A and B are shown apart, each in its own frame.
Chain A
Amino acid sequence: MRWLASPRTGGLFALVAVIAALPLALSNNYFYEVAILVGLNAIVCVGLNLLIGYAGQISLGHAGFFGLGAYGSAILSARFGWPPLAALAVATAGVALLAYVIGRPILRLRGHYLAMATLGMGVIVSIVTATEDRWTGGPDGMPVPPLRLPGATLSGEGPWYAVVGFLVVAAVWLSLNLIESPTGRALRALSGSEIAAEVSGIDSARQKVLVFVISAVFASVAGSLTAHYSGFITPSKATFLHSIEFVTMVVFGGMASTYGAVVGAAVLTTLPQLLTVFKDYEMIALGSIMMGTMIFMPKGLVPSIGGLVGAAAAARARKAVR
């Protein structure tokens, strides 16, 4: 039964079960739409959590990578007639290269300065997508062709749900694998003590760039998929506000917890939909819930609840010994 308690086997099994069982509760297309959106945000957050949660580096510009993936895919497939899958692949490779090139200089910065630099990067992408209207359609956005897989065009909520569900599981699996490898320990060491990581033989600059590129790739893939799924893309997807939403999801779900990133994305994507019953007070309700959660669960949802469950189990074990 030990495999059930391990995050890399038991946790993944639980995630697959939830994703497989969820369609039973999704009674109409709107619910599917929300679930797919949750999945796409979860992919971004799992990647961003590697950077923020594990390696301890902040990025306030990941919607920039998300937007570049979305627009890269959109422009290549709509304006140049590329097959969408090829457009997605090339956009991802382009974002990886860009993240590598800008990562090297800006990841020398720390804390607030790194936040400012990534913020600047995100703002540049946001301005370019809104103003280069020949390519991007400007503030009005542009239509995006649907995703064609070999053999069939991906359309309809059911097939999209299956694909996104599969990719969420894949993202979580890759993230858990990475964290439980020497590379993952090196990343966590960076956030524990960068100087101690260095004198233990870890090239901190290289590791930071590596995790920055990985997280940018996750965001870019999710961006491309979002564009193809919704069939339309506007610059709002690349804005600073969207970057902040991603960071909030990671922090809310729990830093340095892969499942936390998924839960954070799920809660903060669905909550605004649920809170529409409050009408004009929707934003006040959302803000209050977020503040309350962070005050009473400062480590985020998953680590805090995990800690409570762990403490309860330990208390039960002590009682049993007595």
Chain B
Amino acid sequence: MSLLRTEDLCKAFGGLRAVDNLSFAISPGQVYSIIGPNGAGKTTLLNLLTGIYIPSGGRIFLDDAELTGRAPHEFAQAGVARTFQNLQMFFNMSALENVMVGRYGGERCSLATALLHTPALARAERACREEAAELMRFVGLAAWMDSDADALPYGALKRLEIARALATQPRLLLLDEPAAGLNPSEIRGIDELIGKLASRGHTIVLVEHNMRLVMGVSDQVLVLDYGRKLAEGPAEEVRRDPRVIEAYLGSPVAKVH
């Protein structure tokens, strides 16, 4: 039984088919990585899987419920959360409030309740603040609890985005290049964090260029090339696939390490 499933998913921009007849399924609890050369359609695929783009063809299912054509907030409400390759933070808020926004789905209230700030809302707000603080500690941002989001360094913002995504209590977490722009020690930190998430049973879709990271944490790897599926399988298998080596990794396999 798969958690997420696509059938013949397509996305065309004019004549360019950025995602071309792509079918795959992700089982619950997996770390499912998507790799491919620049322009292979990885980010386009993530945008399709979160409703930011509407597919030109094909279907998307979460637990057999069809989400094709839904708006991004509906994907989020169904349990799909994501981070962005080029950060999308709320720099007009504190770091903690950024995470609290992620709790919106579980916490939203009527307009009257909001305008009157009822005691029940005040209690819910305190609980929400505490949950958000707990998530910040979980991703290793305890030191930035009282900071404004725009005071955080780049590496911390990457973690903050993960905390915000986790706050939506997702069933599926999509990470778009979480290690991009980080130094080796920060990458090790992200590696550990993804490992921690996986061990907690989160289902993760990882788009990443850092092969050491991908090969280390992935249960399943999907290789894209020109929007099509080049290969799919366990990390070890994909790494030895000659088509993958030719298209993406370059010839000497040793380069991977």
Contact = CB atoms under 8 A, between A and B. Distances in A.
B129 to A, nearest CB: 11
Interface stretch (A21-29, A38-46, A194-202, A239-247): A194-202
B101 A200 contact: yes
B73 A202 contact: yes
Contact of B115 (A178, A199, A202): A178
B76 A182 contact: no
A153 interface: no
Interface in B66-120: 71-73, 75-77, 81-82, 84, 88-93, 97, 100-105, 107-109, 111, 113-117
Nearest to B90: A192
B50 interface: yes
B98 to A, nearest CB: 8
A180 interface: yes
B40 interface: no
B168 interface: yes
A202 B75 CA distance: 11
Contact of B114 (A182, A196, A199): A182
Interface residues of A, number: 28
Contacts of B235: none
Interface string B141-165: 0000000000000000000000011
Nearest to B116: A177
Contacts of B109: 181-183
Interface of B is mostly: helix
Nearest to B82: A199
Contacts of B237: none
A180 B121 CA distance: 10
A201 B76 contact: yes
B125 interface: yes
A203 B51 CA distance: 12
A202 B108 CA distance: 9
Contact of A200 (B91, B102, B113): B102
A260 B207 CA distance: 44
Nearest to A56: B92
B164 A200 contact: yes
Contacts of B187: none
B93 A204 contact: no
B105 A201 contact: yes
A86 to B, nearest CB: 22
Contacts of A185: 93, 97, 100-101, 104
Contact of A189 (B75, B84, B101): B101
Contacts of B82: 199
B231 interface: no
B52 interface: yes
Interface of A is mostly: helix
Interface string B163-179: 01101100000000000
Nearest to A175: B115
A193 interface: yes
B217 to A, nearest CB: 23
Contact of A192 (B81, B92, B104): B92
Contacts of A193: 88-90
A198 B84 contact: no
Interface string A122-157: 000000000000000000000000000000000000
Contacts of A192: 89-93
Which of A177, A192, A195, A201 gathers the greatest number of chain B CB atoms within 10 Å? Answer: A201
Contacts of A196: 84, 88-90, 164
Contacts of A165: none
Contact of A180 (B50, B111, B117): B117
B114 A203 contact: no
A42 to B, nearest CB: 18
A186 B115 contact: no
B125 A181 contact: yes
A70 B107 CA distance: 37
A165 B77 CA distance: 42
B88 A174 contact: no
A299 B100 CA distance: 25
A251 interface: no
B52 A174 contact: no
A84 interface: no
B89 A182 contact: no
Given A200-B164, A200-B168, A182 B108 contact: yes
13 contacts: A182-B104, A182-B128, A183-B114, A184-B114, A186-B101, A188-B97, A192-B91, A197-B101, A200-B76, A200-B168, A201-B102, A201-B105, A210-B111
Given A189-B101, A200-B168, 4 more contacts: A181-B117, A182-B103, A186-B101, A188-B93
Task: Sort A-B residue pairs by CB-CB distance and give the 8 closest, nearest first.
Answer: A192-B90, A181-B114, A196-B88, A201-B76, A201-B105, A198-B72, A177-B117, A193-B88
Interface of A: 8, 174, 177-178, 180-186, 188-189, 191-193, 195-204, 210, 256
